[in-house]
Structure 1
Amino acid sequence: MADKLHVPLASLGKGLVAGLPYSRPQTPGLPAQVQLGWIGLGAMGYLIARNLANYRAAHLEQQQPPLLVWNRSKEKSEKLLHELGEHKVAIAQTVVDIGTASDIIIISLSGDDVVKSVYEEIAAALQAQPPTKRKIFVETSTIYPSVAGEIDALISAIPHCHLVSSPIFGPPAMAENATLILALSGDYRSKKEVAYTLVPAIGRRVLDLGGNVEKAPTFKLIGNSLVLGSLELIAEAYTIAEKSGIGQDLVYEYIKELVPAPLWISYGDKMLHNKFDGTVGFAIDGGVKDASHIRRLTAEHNSPMPAIDTAHHHLLTARALHAAQARTGTTSFPVLDWSALIAGTRVAAGLDAFDGGKHSGPVPEHE
């Protein structure tokens, strides 16, 4: 039910995990020892995979096999193995190895095309040699909803295979602290298995979006529209404060006093202090992709979101300015965080794109 967010009370029964909308998975289900596979160790994926491996080693009563991981750049896999040890992590040589060896395969990748290519590669191997026991694919990437439908058609055609859409809400800090929010849609029994596998190992709460695998990715885009719209609003407020002589710092104090949401405080600080390093945040390419997906969704449903249109323009402006700096060797960051969209509002107002501190007072109109 997409209109309801189920959150049971922990006191309803011994062993229930707060934040799960499901009873414990029925038996027979997955085997007692479950092989988990993880594909994609990006900025978020690395932190989440680390938490998952640590939790399973520390909290499950029966010893579990190491988390099997794969990443396009093997250095990330080797880093995780070195950090956690062989009893918690093992490295797969290919995505096919993950798909064939694992009971639950969790995928965290950057975009629609790479997601589809990974599923197609795994599906081809499983079609050639169909599995004899249950497999659950957990798609956590931010993808367009129809892509989830395409993947579901591909996976569900293979015996014993199921897809659960499970986009994840939260910045890297929440990934680090295992306080993420998960939205699930798909096969009910599989959702139960996934929920108890991932909460509280990587997150604190599950939102049930029903059986249609396209619902959770849709909800993810709606959620991201709130984040992106907030970034645009903060950027515009900072810019007019700088132009009028009030100063960005006072707007940030206002945010902390009257709008003390973690998201506003975190991104307000990034914009105030020009912390636009996308290697430790959410890279601007991902922001452009998400904004494009949201705009496509609004067009399909005839539901305009002009704030997202504006934010998309400012993301493109910031990325173009960064590319120009990169060509001349003057950029301060190898990759921009999507909070750098403030560069678009600053430039439109005649301010410096990536250094708000250059304008500490009113800016005369002739400048």
Structure 2
Amino acid sequence: MAELQSPSSDQHATWRPPSPTSYLLQIGFVGLGRIGYLMARNLAQHCASNKFPPLLVWNRTLEKSENLLTALGQAKIRIAKDPEQVALECDVIITNLANDAAVKSIYQLFTAALTLTPPTHDKLFIESGTTYPSLAGELHIVMTSIPHSHFITCPVFGTPPIAEKAQLLLIMSGDYSSKKLAARLLVPAIGRKIMDLGENVEKAPAFKLLGNSMLMGSLEVLSEAYTLARKSGIATDNVHDLVKEILPSPGLIIYSDRMANDRFDASNGFALEGGIKDASHVRRLMTQYHSPMPVIDTVHQHLLTTRALQEQKEQNGEATFETLDISGFIAGTRVASGLDGFDKKDT
């Protein structure tokens, strides 16, 4: 059930879908990364089942758009020639991009297109990636200065397997009416629940960084425990069994398994580069609010060490994985203890 805050109260109120809109919305999706692709796929299927027009998608790498079209067909997917087409043709535009620079670039294209051809009816822009909070504030000012244009933030929590099942946790902030429309479109199409952080669009991105800091801090503890176990002669299987007993979080169990078995392939996970970006954002937020989080400083150090180790292996033609999962930052902990970073069997 989606929950949204009333604009006149800080208390959460159960949200119920409004009556259907008077016309069928054209929805667009920009950014088909590991999570974005699955979000777009599920949303396209939802649109088709509700007789909405085919989802209009754009991705920097055309192949991903073509793969989605091949998987779902022309009745569910259309490929835009550029981001500007998405901004001009769609009523609701969802972006899910890799980093702040990519977000800025795409929204600059949106702004240019809509300035040249001002919209004549309402448009809602939904940014769903993990960005620094102040960027959301900047985008809100720019987008809402365009006639009939609205902007909210909606970062998501969940791994690709969670996204696959449309079970993402959605974090929303922004204008109440816009969030209400977004909730009707996105739950249960791509997510299982909404947490509403109020009308300030910077709050949801800040909350997402807070959540990621919890995850990364937990992974640091796991990586240190696995490394100490290895040095003291305790089997990794025993450690993983203990994690399942005393830390029975599905996410932690998945990452524990990856650390225990050196399964550092990010094709179905969270890439190391994303972890570095998020840890950097959290550290910046810590500085802004004078709120130390020493574990994140350590996480950041181990992420950078792991990236350096991976780059060295790539240069030597020894890299095992094309893209390293964030769980691979256990390599930084191992190296600090005098062990091989990527081989748990090394003694």
TM-score by length of 2: 0.95
Q: Which whole-Å CA distance do the structure 2 matches of 1:254 and 1:183 have between them? A: 31
Q: Return the letter of the residue paired with 1:88.
A: K
Deviations 1:297-345 (A, max 9, x none): 0111111000110000000000000000100101101111111110000
Q: Return the letter of the residue paired with 2:43.
A: L
1:172 matched residue in structure 2? 160
Q: Which whole-Å CA distance do the structure 2 matches of 1:84 and 1:129 have between them? A: 31
Q: Which whole-Å CA distance do the structure 2 matches of 1:237 and 1:31 have between them? A: 57
Q: Which whole-Å CA distance do the structure 2 matches of 1:20 and 1:195 have between them? A: 13
Q: Which whole-Å CA distance do the structure 2 matches of 1:139 and 1:260 have between them? A: 31
Aligned pair 1:275/2:243, yes or no? no
Instruction: Give the deviation of 1:280 after TM superposition.
Output: 2.4
Q: Return the letter of the residue paired with 1:138.
A: I
2:204 matched residue in structure 1? 216
12, 16, 26: which one aligns with 1:23: 16
1:144 matched residue in structure 2? 132
**1:148-167 → structure 2 map (5 Å cutoff):** 148-167=136-155
Confirm or deny: 8 A CA contact 1:292 1:312 kept in the other structure.
yes
Aligned pair 1:34/2:25, yes or no? yes
Deviations 1:253-305 (A, max 9, x none): 00112211101110001111111112321111110000000000011111100
Confirm or deny: 8 A CA contact 2:125 2:151 kept in the other structure.
yes
Q: Which whole-Å CA distance do the structure 1 matches of 2:13 and 2:309 have between them? A: 44
Q: Return the letter of the residue paired with 1:161.
A: S
2:9 matched residue in structure 1? none
Instruction: Give the deviation of 1:357 after TM superposition.
Output: 2.4
Instruction: Give the deviation of 1:216 after TM superposition.
Output: 0.3
Confirm or deny: 8 A CA contact 1:20 1:205 kept in the other structure.
no
Instruction: Give the deviation of 1:53 after TM superposition.
Output: 0.9
35, 45, 68: which one aligns with 1:54: 45
Task: Report the secondary structure of 1:236's partner residue.
Answer: helix
Question: What is the alpha-carbon root mean square deviation over aligned residues?
Answer: 1.6
Question: 1:73/1:181 Cα in 2 relative to 1: closer, same or farther (>3 Å)?
Answer: same
Confirm or deny: 8 A CA contact 2:4 2:180 kept in the other structure.
no
**1:1-367 → structure 2 map (5 Å cutoff):** 6=3, 21-25=14-18, 31-58=22-49, 60=50, 63-359=51-347
Q: Return the letter of the residue paired with 2:331.
A: A
Instruction: Give the deviation of 1:168 after TM superposition.
Output: 0.3
Instruction: Give the deviation of 1:21 after TM superposition.
Output: 4.1
Instruction: Give the deviation of 1:26 after TM superposition.
Output: 6.6
TM-score by length of 1: 0.90
Q: Which moved more, 1:277-286 or 1:110-119?
A: 277-286
**Unaligned runs of at least 5 residues, structure 1:** 9-18, 360-367
% identical equivalent positions: 51
Task: Report the secondary structure of 1:119's partner residue.
Answer: helix
**Unaligned runs of at least 5 residues, structure 2:** 6-11
Deviations 1:339-364 (A, max 9, x none): 111000001111110111234xxxxx
Task: Report the secondary structure of 1:115's partner residue.
Answer: helix
Q: Which whole-Å CA distance do the structure 2 matches of 1:207 and 1:132 have between them? A: 31
Deviations 1:165-224 (A, max 9, x none): 000011111101110000100010000000110000001000011000000000000000
Instruction: Give the deviation of 1:23 after TM superposition.
Output: 3.2
